[in-house]
A and B are shown apart, each in its own frame.
Chain A
Amino acid sequence: MIPLTDFLLVSAGLFCIGLFMIVSKRNAIQILIGIELMLNAAILNLVAFGKYDRFNNGGQVFALFAIVLAAATTAVALAIILNVYRKYKTIDPDKVDKLRD
């Protein structure tokens, strides 16, 4: 059996890589990928603990919900990124500093 601590360590590594991407990247798509990495780290934790909940399936069901929520987030975020690109001709979040009008 794989110890639970190993899963937690892998997910901590993934989370920190995602955090690094969010803070350092200058491209909205790469920041989005960083957010996905952090979400995946959380889902890995849910699944790893879900192994100890056989009758209620709490961890796995909420991992499924989290995956669907991540898909919804990504769809909206990409629509927003496309709009920003159309308006500003760049997707660097540092350069998008004007409100409408």
Chain B
Amino acid sequence: MTIVQFLFYVMSFITLASALFVAASKSLVRSIFMFFITLFALAGLYVLALADFVAITQIVIYVGGILVLILFAFMLSGKDTLNAMQQQKNQFISLNKVAALLLAGLFFIVLINMIVKLDANNLPWIKKSVQLGNTFSPTDLTTDNIGVNLMTKYLLPFEALSVLLMMVLIGAAHLSRKEQRQ
């Protein structure tokens, strides 16, 4: 087992364990802070998949942006949330949770079955790209190629996304503004 594989298994264990903690935790604050760890470990997995630019973007946007937003929303609606959570604590296993567990478990079995049958490493297009040398190697510089592709091949989705971001910015500011009574 090489050190890369070892790191991969450590990272994936941290990811899954902290995600399980996020799902199982009764306290909202703890689950938000464990979500930090999930996101960091996911960024590590992206690095191991040789996508360092995506990993940095993940850290900047998810950890820096989304989590801070979630924390603020929690703080602005805090007290009642905590009370509601404590009421939930009394009934440990409710019917609701069993149904959810069943749904998630069965879906997981379906996904595992599909992944095992798919045998992703032997897909035709992946074999072809390995033959043609179209795969990343760990010493490659990837960021400049992403930049060139973003400005040429993927220019239309990029611009559509920028328009969408503008709309979201205005929409979110409008939604969270205080309404004046006439």
Contacts and interface: CB of A to CB of B under 8 A. Distances in A.
A43 to B, nearest CB: 8
Interface of A (DSSP majority class): helix
Interface string B123-159: 0011001100111100010100110011001100110
A67 B115 CA distance: 24
B120 A90 contact: no
B134 A5 contact: no
Interface of B: 4-5, 8, 12, 15-16, 19-20, 22-23, 28, 31-32, 35, 38-39, 42, 45-46, 48-51, 53-54, 57-58, 61-62, 65-66, 69-70, 72-74, 76-77, 80-81, 84-85, 88, 96-97, 99-101, 103-105, 107-108, 111-112, 115-116, 118-121, 125-126, 129-130, 133-136, 140, 142, 145-146, 149-150, 153-154, 157-158, 161, 164-165, 168-169, 171-172, 175-176
Given A13-B19, A52-B126, 6 more contacts: A18-B19, A33-B70, A47-B45, A51-B50, A64-B54, A82-B175
